[in-house]
Structure 1
Amino acid sequence: MRRNPWSTLAVLALAQFMVVLDVTIVNVALPDIQQDLGFTASGLQWVVSAYTLLFGGFLLLGGRAADLLGRRRLFIVGLLIFGVTSLSAGLAQNPEQLVVLRAVQGLGGALLSPAAFAILTVTYAKGRERNIAMGVWGGLAGLGGTLGVIAGGLLVDSLGWRWIFLVNVPIAVALAAVVPLFVRESRATSTGTRTFDVAGALLSTAGLLSIVLGVIRAESQGWTSFQVVALLAGGLALLAAFVRVESRSAAPLVPLSLFRSRGLTTSVLALALNGAAFLAMFFLTAIFLQQVRGLTALETGLQFLPMGIAAITSAVVSAQAVTRFGTRPVQFAGAALSVVGLLLLSGADATGSYAATIMPGLILFGIGIIATGTPASIAAVADVDHDQAGAASGVVNAGYQVGGVLGLAVITTVATSHVEGLLATGTVPQDALVGGFERGLLIAALFAAVNIVIALGAPRLRPTADQLAEAAVAA
Structure 2
Amino acid sequence: MAVVQFMVSLDLSVVNVGLPQIRTSLGFSEVGLTWVIHAYALTFGGLLLLGGKIADLFGRKRLVLIGLTLFGIGSLLGGFATEPGHLVAARAGQGIGAAALAPAALALLTSTFPSGPERVKAFGVWSAVNAAGAAFGVLIGGLLTEYAGWEWVMFVNVPMVVVALVLAWRGIAADGPSVERGRPDVLGAVLATAGMGLFVFGIVRTDQHPWTSSTTLTTLAAAVVLLVAFLFVEKTTSRDPLIRLGLFRNRSVAGANVFVLLLGGAMASAFYFVSLYLQRVLGSSPARSGVEFLPLAFGVVFGSVLAIKLGGRLAPRMVLVIGGALTGIGFAWFSLFTANGSFATDVLGPSIVASIGIGLCLAPMASLGTTGVAAHEAGAASGLLNSSRQIGAALGLAALGTAANARTGDSGTMEALTDGYALGMLIGAVVVVGGVLLALAVLPRTGPDAEGAEQH
Q: Normalising by the residue count of structure 1, what TM-score does the alignment of the two structures yield?
A: 0.88
Pick from 231, 234, 237 the counterpart of residue 225 of structure 2.
Answer: 237
Please report how far the alpha carbon of residue 320 of structure 1 lies from its aligned counterpart in structure 2 after TM superposition: 2.9
| Aligned match of 1:473 | none
Relative distance call for 1:318 and 1:131 in structure 2 (3 A) is closer
Verify: 1:288 aligned to 2:277, yes or no: yes
| Aligned match of 2:81 | 92
| Aligned match of 2:446 | 461
Question: 1:185 aligns to what SS in structure 2?
Answer: coil
Structure 2 unmatched ranges of 5 or more: none
Deviations 1:372-413 (A, max 9, x none): 344344433334445434432321221111111101100001
- Separation in structure 1 between the aligned mates of residue 354 and residue 167 of structure 2, nearest angstrom: 39
Please report how far the alpha carbon of residue 228 of structure 1 lies from its aligned counterpart in structure 2 after TM superposition: 1.3
Deviations 1:317-357 (A, max 9, x none): 23332432323433333222222111211112233243233
Structure 2 counterparts to residues 240-255 of structure 1, below 5 A? 240-250=228-238, 251-255=240-244
Deviations 1:246-305 (A, max 9, x none): 112352111100111222222211111110110000011101100110001121111111
Compare 215-224 and 375-384 and name the one that shifted more.
375-384
Compare 166-175 and 439-448 and name the one that shifted more.
166-175
Structure 2 counterparts to residues 19-30 of structure 1, below 5 A? 19-30=8-19
Please report how far the alpha carbon of residue 414 of structure 1 lies from its aligned counterpart in structure 2 after TM superposition: 0.7
Deviations 1:131-186 (A, max 9, x none): 77655444322211111101101111110110011111223234446654554432
Verify: 1:103 aligned to 2:92, yes or no: yes
In the alignment, is the contact (CA less than 8 A) between 1:326 and 1:462 conserved in 2?
A: yes
In the alignment, is the contact (CA less than 8 A) between 1:66 and 1:74 conserved in 2?
A: yes
In the alignment, is the contact (CA less than 8 A) between 2:103 and 2:380 conserved in 1?
A: no
Pick from 156, 163, 166 the counterpart of residue 167 of structure 1.
Answer: 156
Structure 2 counterparts to residues 55-204 of structure 1, below 5 A? 55-119=44-108, 136-176=125-165, 179-191=168-180, 194-204=182-192
Deviations 1:417-437 (A, max 9, x none): 11115x2xxxx6111111111
Structure 2 counterparts to residues 45-56 of structure 1, below 5 A? 45-56=34-45
Q: Which one-letter code corresponds to 2:381 in the other structure?
A: A
- Separation in structure 1 between the aligned mates of residue 399 and residue 391 of structure 2, nearest angstrom: 12
Identity over aligned residues, as a percent? 38
Q: Which one-letter code corresponds to 2:63 in the other structure?
A: L
| Aligned match of 2:340 | 351
Relative distance call for 1:182 and 1:356 in structure 2 (3 A) is closer
Structure 1 unmatched ranges of 5 or more: 1-11, 471-475
Q: Which one-letter code corresponds to 1:241 in the other structure?
A: A
| Aligned match of 1:265 | 254
| Aligned match of 1:221 | 209
CA-based RMSD of the aligned residues comes to: 2.6
Relative distance call for 1:330 and 1:172 in structure 2 (3 A) is closer
Please report how far the alpha carbon of residue 13 of structure 1 lies from its aligned counterpart in structure 2 after TM superposition: 3.5
Deviations 1:4-41 (A, max 9, x none): xxxxxxxx433332211100000000000001111111
| Aligned match of 2:300 | 311
Deviations 1:75-112 (A, max 9, x none): 23222221121111111011111111101111011112
Compare 303-312 and 42-51 and name the one that shifted more.
303-312
Compare 260-269 and 35-44 and name the one that shifted more.
260-269
Relative distance call for 1:133 and 1:337 in structure 2 (3 A) is closer
Pick from 177, 200, 207 the counterpart of residue 212 of structure 1.
Answer: 200
Deviations 1:300-320 (A, max 9, x none): 111111112221111122333
Q: Normalising by the residue count of structure 2, what TM-score does the alignment of the two structures yield?
A: 0.91
**Aligned residue pair count:** 452
- Separation in structure 2 between the aligned mates of residue 349 and residue 16 of structure 1, nearest angstrom: 35
- Separation in structure 1 between the aligned mates of residue 195 and residue 302 of structure 2, nearest angstrom: 37
Pick from 382, 402, 409 the counterpart of residue 371 of structure 2.
Answer: 382
Structure 2 counterparts to residues 340-419 of structure 1, below 5 A? 340-419=329-408
Pick from 410, 426, 430 the counterpart of residue 442 of structure 1.
Answer: 426
Relative distance call for 1:304 and 1:323 in structure 2 (3 A) is same
